[in-house]
Amino acid sequence: MPRRRTSSSSSSTGSTTGTTAPTTAPRNRTPQPVRIRRRSFGDFVKAFFAFLALAVLLVGVPGALATQIGWPLPSGVPSLDWLQQEITVETFLNILTVVVWLAWAQFTACVLVEMKAALSGVGVPGRVPGAGPSQLLARQLVAALLLVGATAASFTPGLSQLGQGGYDAHHKPTVASAQQTPGFFAQQQEQAADTAAALAEQASHAASHADAGGSTAKQGDTKYYRIQPPEGRHHDSLWEIAERHLGDGRRYKEIFELNKDRIQPDGSKLSEASLIRPGWIMEMPGDARGGELVEMPDEAPHVSPDVQQQIADYAQTGDHAHGGGSGAQGGGHEHAGGGATQVSVPEQQRPAPDTGHQQATGVGAESGSSFGLPEALLTAPLLAAGLLGALGRRRRQALWQSAFGAVGGRRGMEPPTPSGDAQDVQDALLVGADPEGVRLLDRSLRGLAASLAEESRALPVVYAAWLSNGDLHLQLAQPAGKPPAPWQQGQDQTFWMLARTDAERYEDVDTAAPYPGLVSLGTMDDSRLLLNLEAVPGIVSLSGREADRAAVFASVAAELATNGWSDRMTITLVGFGQDLTPLAPNRIRHLEDVEALVETMEAETRQRRGALGAAGHDSVLTGRTGPAQHTRWAPHLVLLAAQPSAEDAVKLAELAADASRLGIGYLVGTETGDLPGAAWEMEITGQGKLLAPLLGLELDAQLLPAAQQRAVVELFVEADPENRPEGSPANRPPFLVDISEQGRPAVYARLVGPYEIIGLDTPDGERSALLHEALALLLLHREGVHPRVLSSALWPRGVTDDVRNALLDRLRDWLGADPDGTPRLGTDGSGRLTLAKSVVSDLDVLRSLYHEATQGKGVGSRAVRGRLLTDALVLVRGPLLADRPEGRYRWLTHEIVDAQLPLLVADTGLALCEFHMEKNRAEKAIEALNAALRTAPADERLWHELLRATHATGDTSRLTSLATDLIGRSGARGLPPRTEALLDELLPTWRDAIAAVG
């Protein structure tokens, strides 16, 4: 949950006071002036008309009813005869008058409730029963009336429905609104809640100490907690430790202050509350509860001597060791060395798909930092997953285009191996990506849309989504009723929440993506914010230095272009120095200047308004749940990094006024921070903080700096075969082996088919499977594997450095050394893990044989070519790692070897078929093609050559039988056009013949 700023009043209780109040000083921000919007003439006009409307509705309506119609109810008690009388016009008017009086009374109550909440600035306005539209109208009129007053801060346009905290039974009502699931908060509400939070927190601490009888305080015990190793994807955090042992996660700051900058057993220090490591020791406040309470050091038999010594040494550091009190930090208790110690066993935790991966990948930061992996991508799991998936699709597309566009096969064309910054960025994508989090987010949103469609309900307007502690929270623009199961009501009526366990039960559904405009902006503690750009009621402005703004714009553009929770969309970029089009040519388009943008958006705005009106929809959201959901109402997101002129800014503001209804979003950069029509104003600081004071946001911004942006684009450009110069030679395989008798390897792994290793003893114990998987990953990447990439592949939910290093030591021992003493597992100059040339796989041999046959010795010798191709085809025993256990080798989803191997086998079969057909050996050619089809059954080229070779035998019935088999394999789709054309040439009567056979 993101942290909220706390009142400075709490910090006034220093260590010498002896009180129990924790240290809750305000967080240090980069000093930024709060920008107050000056009241315009239009604001006063709106306030005047709002006053008139309220006067008419509150005074004029009852006055008119009283003077014009009078008392509508009967003067006496109704009798049975009265009920049997004919209904006259007067009776109908009286009934209608009663209804109007009731509606007036309800609206008056709404106005009083909203006025009270607006003037007090504290708490959530009460809900008048059955008064949804009436209360919304009252809220808007009150907001417009108070817009010219000091209380207008809580009525910022577009935010009046946002972030009003609900009541939590476990906390004091006065602080509930500031301590719930993250949201957007008006500045005035936040200040009031902060003050109330400080007072309530002091009261709650005093009460808890009184309930405890003062036993802990009297004893003066000092307690410690040892950070536990990760369990699956979950990692310990100070918030959860405080929640388990102090009863309130917000008290994590007390633990942080007690332990800040103290030397840990591994020699490092705690400097950031979000960066803790397994094995560290945390001194706990004296009122900590839960876990195992033990006496240290002699009365803790279940605590190892090493840990006892570490805690004893750690106890000698800190303020208490020098006679200073730690009341504020530690709850006000005086600490005495050698007191009772708490070594807690971690309880079961909820997994966190959005943040757990970052914590897991950050564990080894101290050992991996020397390799220079860009932190911006390591801490952006959704962006990294989108880029990695898009890059894999681009490389597969390049392989297929190369295969089916070349005459006689690919001739060994291999994807280029990245180097330098591009290699670092690729490794960072592999480490940082969270594809499971993307999959759950996509299924959850589509499942919600499908459920609402089944209930004939429209999609609610969603301003933002928070991924927090494993759960998904949708922040609605206004209350939308009870969410469909398994979704639950969140902290108030403007939040819908889905727990991770419920999200995992969702299956793929055939429905359009409901909120494709969601994009990550950054994190606040353990929560990740995704803003729905297309739903913002106006322009989102971003101020700050040009380079910092560009990093935010690049991150937003890259994620929108490649994310996995969107279908179709258009992203228009203006003012970008680096062309991002290669990331998604079908989504991204660049415009030269703001003038071209205004012209384009004026035309599209008119077109969308007309289309919505013709379709009978009030917004794109209603269209996305209708019959045309898959073909219409895709969002158009405009990212304008350049500062628009004053005239252009006004035009954009006019266009953006109705943009949210049309599915158009605007993110505009500004140097001054003063942009007309900006509904939400944000600022990026030089320290990477994304600030929005009026929204109550202070995020660690998600960025894509210029260097990483160039490297990402380079990866996509190099993957495009169209960028390869005409007539350039085919890329060599990344690793060629000596295929002669003298090149016999010391270790030979068979990966093509069932996994076997020759030359090594089978490792003992449960780690055998892990060692085999690590070796397979290294064999498929002869260019080297970053240690953090290896650990991320083997332990996708995270692992500590000591576990990873222990595995590498066992892997080195298992592989051994060459006769000259060189270890078979080494490292290159960049620190990446590499295998010696004496460790070879059958895939290496297969690539080498094909390369030598088509580009080496086989080119000048027919006999050599035939022998090499035959030997290569013999190596193929099935698909890659055919017997791999379920649940392991998931990193293969990021690889393209599953596409490379079938194409390589098909190329080998085609080349051997050509070799035999040169001598009219059709049967041998058919044998080679059938062998290749067992591994590449979907390769159309193999079937075409099989038809030609079968035709060469002169056996018409055999050719007809093959055509029949092909039709059966094609199913309802039918034969591909080129296959039909080939059959028309080889067997003109094939349709009649097949019909006769059928």
507-521, 864-878, 963-977, range with the lowest pLDDT: 963-977
Whether 669 contacts 640, CB under 8 Å: yes
Kindly state the tokens that stand for 81. Answer: 């005869």
Residue 614 buriedness (CB in 10 A; 0-12 / 13-18 / 19+):
exposed
In the structure, what pLDDT confidence band is assigned to residue 529 with cuts at 50, 70 and 90? very high
Stretch 566-576: mean pLDDT, rounded?
A: 88
Which pLDDT tens digit goes with each residue over 479-499? 999 999 999 998 888 999 999
Could you write out the DSSP letters of every residue in 667-702?
EEEESSS--TTEEEEEEE-TTSEEEEGGGTEEEEE-
Judged on CB neighbours under 10 Å (0-12, 13-18, 19+), 627 is: exposed
Helix or strand holding residue 446 (H, E):
helix 435-454
Lowest-confidence range among 88-102, 382-396, 446-460, 735-749? 88-102
SS (H, E, C) 596-650: HHHHHHHHHHHHHHHHHHHHCCCCHHHHCCCCCCCCCCCCEEEEECCCCCHHHHH
Rounded mean pLDDT of the chain?
76
Provide the pLDDT for residue 592.
87
The C-alpha atoms of residue 528 and residue 520 are separated, in whole angstroms, by: 7
- 3-state class (DSSP) for residue 833: strand
What is the DSSP code (8-state) at residue 223? E
CA distance 436 to 860: 50
pLDDT band at 840 (very low <50, low <70, confident <90, very high): very high
| Helix or strand (DSSP H, E) at 827 | strand 825-827
Yes or no: say if 540 and 679 are a contact pair by the CB < 8 Å rule: yes
Rounded CA-CA distance 528/385 in Å is: 15
- Across 501-522, average pLDDT: 89
User: How much of the chain, in percent, has pLDDT values that exceed 70?
Assistant: 73
Which is it for strands 664-670 and 539-544: parallel, antiparallel or unpaired? parallel
- Return the DSSP state at 58: I
Contact 842, 908 (CB under 8 A): no
Question: Any idea which of 288-297, 314-323, 603-612 has the lowest mean pLDDT?
Answer: 288-297
For 230-239, the pLDDT digits (tens) are 654 456 778 7
As a whole number of angstroms, the distance between CA 350 and CA 508 comes to 23
Judge whether residue 92 has pLDDT over 50.
yes
| Max Cα-Cα span within the chain | 118
Q: What is the mean pLDDT of residues 425-430?
A: 93
- Calculate what percentage of the chain has a pLDDT beyond 90: 32
Q: Specify the DSSP element, H or E, that contains 539.
A: strand 539-544
Which residues are CB-neighbours of 269 under 8 A, at least 6 positions away? 260, 261, 262, 263
**In Å, what is the CA distance from 474 to each residue of 266, 495, 532, 801?**
41, 6, 10, 36
0.75 surpassed by pTM: no
Which residues does 628 contact at the CB level (< 8 Å), separation at least 6?
Answer: 615
Find the DSSP H helices in 880-976.
Answer: 897-917, 922-933, 940-952, 956-970
810/760 Cα distance (integer angstroms): 13
Q: How confident is the model over 214-264, as pLDDT tens digits?
A: 333 333 457 888 887 765 445 677 877 887 888 887 788 888 888 888 888
- Can you give the pLDDT at residue 337? 31
d(CA 488, CA 500): 12
**pLDDT, position 632:** 58
pLDDT tens, residue by residue, 892-942: 988 888 888 998 999 999 999 999 999 999 999 999 999 999 888 888 899
Contacts of 441 (CB under 8 A, 6+ apart): 382, 465, 467, 472, 564, 565
Question: CA-CA distance, 934 to 929, in Å (whole number)?
Answer: 9
Integer Cα distance of 902 and 410 in angstroms: 12
Average of per-residue pLDDT across 16-31: 35
pLDDT digits (tens, 9 = 90+) for 166-189: 333 333 333 333 335 566 544 334
Q: Label the pairing between strands 678-684 and 689-692.
A: antiparallel
**Burial class for 973, CB neighbours closer than 10 Å (0-12, 13-18, 19+):** exposed
pLDDT above 90 for 286? no
Q: In this predicted structure, what is the pLDDT of residue 427?
A: 92
pLDDT reported for residue 126: 65
**Most confident of the following: 546-560, 577-591, 757-771:** 546-560
Give per-residue pLDDT as tens, 97-149. 778 888 888 888 888 887 776 665 444 456 677 777 777 788 778 777 766 55
CA–CA separation, 534 vs 620, rounded Å?
A: 10
Number of Cβ within 10 Å of residue 184's Cβ equals: 23
Tens-digit pLDDT profile for residues 673-731: 788 878 889 999 999 999 988 788 899 999 999 999 999 999 999 887 666 655 455 56
pLDDT digits (tens, 9 = 90+) for 624-675: 765 555 445 788 999 999 888 888 888 998 888 888 888 899 999 998 778 8
- Going by the DSSP 8-state scheme, the letter that residue 412 receives in this structure is S
Q: For Cα atoms 963, 968, 972, give the angle at the middle one, nearest 5 degrees.
A: 120
Q: Is residue 718 within 8 Å of 414, Cβ to Cβ?
A: no
Whether residue 811 has pLDDT greater than 80: yes
User: What average pLDDT does this structure show over 823-837?
Assistant: 92
- The two counts, helices (H) then strands (E), for the chain are 36, 23
Q: Is 572 helix (H, G, I), strand (E, B) or coil?
A: strand
Looking at residue 339, its pLDDT comes to: 30
Average pLDDT of span 264-285: 78
Comparing CA positions, the residue from 511, 509, 449 lying closest to residue 483 is 449
Q: Are 561 and 389 in contact (CB under 8 A)?
A: no
Q: How much is the pLDDT for 325?
A: 37
pLDDT of residue 813: 93
**Distance separating alpha carbons of residues 738 and 748, to the nearest angstrom:** 13
**Contact in structure between 466 and 354 (CB atoms under 8 Å):** no
Q: Buried b vs exposed e over 296-306: b needs ≥16 C-beta within 10 Å?
A: bbeebeebeee
- β-partners of residue 639 are 573, 667
